[in-house]
Amino acid sequence: MPLKRNDDTTSTQSQGSSSSSSSSTSGPKYTPSNGNNDFSFKKESNGPKIIEICGEGKSGKTAMGALYAPDPVVIINFDGRAIDTVEQARAMGRKVGLCEIYMPSEELSLEEAKAAAKECIKKVMYNLSWAVKDSRNPGGVRTIVIDTVSELSDIGILEWKGTHLKKGDKTDAFGQDQRFVKHIWWNITHYIRSGKANLIVTSRASGIWEDHKRVGNKPDAPSVVFDSADLVLYSSVEAEEDLRKKKINPAKFKLEVIGCGANMSELKAVYTADDWGDDGPFAYACHRQFSDTSEIEDWK
C-alpha cells in the first residue's frame, strides 16, 4: 500500500477501529518545532566555532588564545609552557584561567600508565564541562583553549594501551587506540557545540612534501580534529635579515588558512600585521571566514 501524506484524510479513516487501536499504543505523536517541519529558514546567529591552530614551537599558538581571543579565556594546557603567556595576558588586564594537566614523569607499568592517563582525561572532561556550562551565563567564558591536542591525543593512547610504542609491538591495539582518541574528541566537540564559547585547539605542525620539497603544512594531530574544525590556521614567525644593515629585523608573525568551509575563497590566504592592524590576528582571521554570521567585534 503506498504511503500517504499526514494531511491525507483518506489514509487511515477507512480502516476503522484497528487504526485508532494502533495509534493509542504507539506513544505520543511527534510535534515538529515549526508545526510542519524542523527546518529553520531565518538568519542564524553565530554559534560556537572550533578553530585549530598548528605551528612549529614558539610560533604564537598559545598566544592566539591568551592574548587575542575574546576573554574570559580558559586554557587546558599539557606541556607546562603556557604560564609566561598567561601572565603576559593577565598583565594586559585580560581574564585568563589556566588548568595544567600532567602525566607522571616517573617510570610506570602499563597498568599504572593507563590509570594515570584515565585520571588526566577525566580532569579534562570535568573542566571542559564546567567551562561550557559557564559560557551560557552572562559574562561567562567566551573562549576555551586546548593546548595542545597533540599531547591530549598522546594521553588518550596511553589510557587505551599504556604505551606509545608503535604498530607491531606486543601492545599493538590494531587501531582501537585511535578509535578511542576519536571518541574522546567527538565528546569534546559535542560539549562545545552545546555552549556559547569558541574552542581554540592548538597542535604541532608537520610538513607536506613533494619531490623532497616542503610544499605545505598540516596539523600533527588526529585527522578527526581537522575534520570537525570550522577554521584551520598555520601560525609561523619569520625573522627577516637585512643584509645591507647587517642586522635581523623584528620577527613577523603571520597566519595561513589551511582549512575552512564557510568561505572557501580564503583557503591558502596569508594574513600579517599589515592586514589585521588593531583588530588583532584572531579577530581578523575569524571574521574573514564568518563575516556572514558575525561582526568583527564578536571576535575581540
- The reported pTM is 0.80
178 domain residue, yes or no: yes
- Residue 259's H or E segment, with its range, is strand 252-260
182 domain residue, yes or no: yes
Q: What is the DSSP letter of 99?
A: E
Please compute Rg for the chain using Cα positions: 24
Query: Model confidence over 251-280: pLDDT tens digits?
Result: 578 999 999 989 999 999 999 999 999 999
Query: Model confidence over 194-223: pLDDT tens digits?
Result: 999 999 999 988 888 888 888 788 888 888
Q: What are the percentages of helix, strand and coil residues in the chain, rounded to 5?
A: 40, 20, 40
Cα 72 to chain centroid, rounded: 17
Cell match 581578523: residue? Answer: 284
Q: What is the CATH number of the domain that holds 134?
A: 3.40.50
Total domain count, the chain: 1
Query: Taking the CB of residue 131, how many other CB atoms lie within 10 A of it?
Result: 26
234 or 153: whose pLDDT is higher?
Answer: 234
- 49-62: b (≥16 Cβ within 10 Å) or e: bbbbbbbeeebbbb
Cell match 598567561: residue? Answer: 86
Query: Model confidence over 6-62: pLDDT tens digits?
Result: 444 444 444 444 444 444 456 678 888 777 888 878 766 668 999 999 998 888 899
Q: Which domain holds residue 142?
A: 48-299
114 domain residue, yes or no: yes
Q: What is the DSSP letter of 8?
A: -
153 domain residue, yes or no: yes
88 domain residue, yes or no: yes
171 domain residue, yes or no: yes
φ, ψ (nearest 5 deg) of residue 264: -65, -20
31 domain residue, yes or no: no
Contacts of 271 (CB under 8 A, 6+ apart): 254, 255, 256, 257, 281, 284, 285, 288
37 domain residue, yes or no: no
256, 276 in Cβ contact below 8 A? no
- Residue 233's H or E segment, with its range, is strand 231-238
